[in-house]
């Protein structure tokens, strides 16, 4: 009886994963068709969103990250944005992670590569709390971030909330989840009108060939409401992340 029950849940879970993948691929191709089907498009191609990240794990509770991003409005053309950030992360429990980050964020104008003057030039300090819920082999993530945004002649606050789900695909190998599907949607708010700034959706496939390397390939769509620190709607994501671990004595 238990074997039949287990087999039923495995088949049901597999169907559930397939439905999710087909659904978000349909959203992806629909978004692309909308962009290219406009009579007077503001964004004529899919841009690139490139990420590299280094994570250093001190112990089971504490780790540090360094991250760099480079974005373009065209497919590796018309580069308009880069950022560099560092964060300290402390895992309070299995279901609660606290973070304090700081970074330099620069956005350039359209029409070429790093066109001056800049649309935005900021240093941001961002405390963050992330909670996790586990359901069978799914992980649901709630991320809350407060951004203190300091420009040359300005100061702004922003609140961000991201809801995500991570779905492992296939079996673990040597204790590593080799392929993970990551779906998330993030909302951006400010304390000033119009309050709502942006909605950002991501579909990511993570491939982890070893404990050290994680490769990301995905799609990002965002909608902005009268803000100028980011331009672009559709992006292809390419990421390469590295993990290092402190040696135990």
- Structure tokens that stand for 64 in this block: 């540090």
pTM for this predicted structure:
0.81
Judged against a pLDDT cut of 80, whether residue 175 lies above it is answered with no
Q: CA 15 to CA 38: how far, in whole Å?
A: 35
Q: CA 112 to CA 214: how far, in whole Å?
A: 31
Q: CA 104 to CA 126: how far, in whole Å?
A: 12
Q: CA 11 to CA 118: how far, in whole Å?
A: 52
Q: Specify the pLDDT at position 9.
A: 43
Judged against a pLDDT cut of 50, whether residue 129 lies above it is answered with yes
Domain ranges in the chain are: 2-245
On the question of a cis peptide bond just before residue 117, with omega within 30 degrees of 0, the verdict is: yes
Q: Specify the pLDDT at position 240.
A: 97
CB 180 within 8 A of CB 209: no
Q: Specify the pLDDT at position 67.
A: 98
pLDDT digits (tens, 9 = 90+) for 38-66: 333 345 579 999 999 999 999 999 999 99
- Of 124 and 31, the structure prediction assigns the larger pLDDT to 124
Region 83-92 average pLDDT:
98
Topology (CATH level 3) of domain 2-245: Porin (2.40.160)
Q: Specify the pLDDT at position 26.
A: 52
Judged against a pLDDT cut of 50, whether residue 36 lies above it is answered with no
How does residue 14 score in pLDDT terms, banded at 50, 70 and 90?
low
């Amino acid at each position: 009886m238990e074997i039949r029950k287990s087999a039923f849940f495995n088949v049901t879970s597999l169907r559930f994963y397939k439905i999710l993948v087909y659904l978000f691929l349909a959203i992806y191709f629909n978004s692309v068709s909308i962009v290219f089907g406009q009579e007077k498009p503001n964004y004529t191609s899919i841009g690139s969103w490139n990420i590299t990240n280094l994570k250093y794990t001190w112990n089971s509770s504490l780790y540090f990250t360094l991250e760099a991003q480079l974005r373009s409005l065209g497919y590796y053309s018309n580069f308009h944005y880069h950022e560099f950030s560092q964060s300290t992360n402390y895992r309070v429990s299995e279901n609660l992670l606290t973070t304090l980050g700081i970074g330099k964020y620069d956005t350039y104008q359209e029409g070429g590569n790093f066109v001056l003057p800049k649309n935005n030039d900021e240093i941001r300090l961002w405390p963050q709390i992330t909670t996790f819920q586990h359901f069978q082999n799914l992980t649901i993530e709630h991320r809350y971030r407060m951004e203190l945004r300091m420009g040359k002649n300005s100061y702004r606050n922003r609140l961000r909330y991201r809801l995500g789900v991570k779905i492992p695909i296939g079996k673990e190998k040597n204790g590593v989840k080799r392929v993970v599907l990551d779906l998330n949607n993030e909302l951006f708010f400010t304390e000033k009108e119009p309050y709502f700034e942006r909605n950002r959706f991501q579909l990511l496939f993570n491939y982890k060939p070893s404990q050290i390397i994680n490769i990301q390939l995905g799609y990002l769509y965002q909608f902005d409401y009268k803000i100028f620190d980011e331009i672009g709607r559709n992006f292809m994501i390419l990421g390469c992340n590295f993990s290092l671990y402190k040696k135990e004595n």
